[in-house]
A and B are shown apart, each in its own frame.
Chain A
Amino acid sequence: DGGITQSPKYLFRKEGQNVTLSCEQNLNHDAMYWYRQDPGQGLRLIYYSQIVNDFQKGDIAEGYSVSREKKESFPLTVTSAQKNPTAFYLCASSIFGGNEQFFGPGTRLTVL
């Protein structure tokens, strides 16, 4: 279903801990994206990367960090600086300049 995977499906974290969400794609897409989904707020962009070793902040980047060392991988770290990290996180990919974004199955993060 799209060749983009996210792990884990569910993640629990204690306050004050950093946690890394995995996103891998085998679609040979150049661009990758991280979104946060909260009830009633749609999809909000955290970070995106159009090419390896380069990425840009989205609208809600504070408290998050990313890396893009490989074309296939775009991990997201939720740091302790993120004040309200409990949410559903979606990763997506597309060809550079392409229209359709293909989404992963998502990771639901809960901070205890």
Chain B
Amino acid sequence: GENVEQHPSTLSVQEGDSAVIKCTYSDSASNYFPWYKQELGKRPQLIIDIRSNVGEKKDQRIAVTLNKTAKHFSLHITETQPEDSAVYFCAAGTPNTGNQFYFGTGTSLTVIP
């Protein structure tokens, strides 16, 4: 099956700086890569996703890049704010075939005011 690795496990940045979280995957058949944000005590929520036919996607301060050849994808948060503090999970899978997602182990991001 798929194996998703995520780094770093913890990340602290000053407010206004950028944060980057990286993930690698093993199954070249994976074609969908979502990122979920989980605030303390709350449920995970999708914040951005990318399909394998796209190299980059941006939504305001959040962007995701995908390198299919190297099998890695990254989350970029610019101009970080304290409300960005949360645990972020990457995932990989082939939902169009009804298969499961495989999640990374999570990154705890702390934005220091």
Question: Using a CB–CB distance below 8 Å, which chain A residues touch chain B?
Answer: 1-2, 31, 33, 35, 40-45, 48, 50, 58-59, 90, 94, 96-101, 103-106
Contact = CB atoms under 8 A, between A and B. Distances in A.
Contacts, number: 51
State the main secondary structure of chain B at its contact with A.
mixed
B25 interface: no
A78 B42 CA distance: 22
A58 B98 contact: no
A42 B104 CA distance: 6
Contacts of A44: 103
Interface string B18-38: 000000000000001010000
Nearest to B104: A42
B100 A40 contact: no
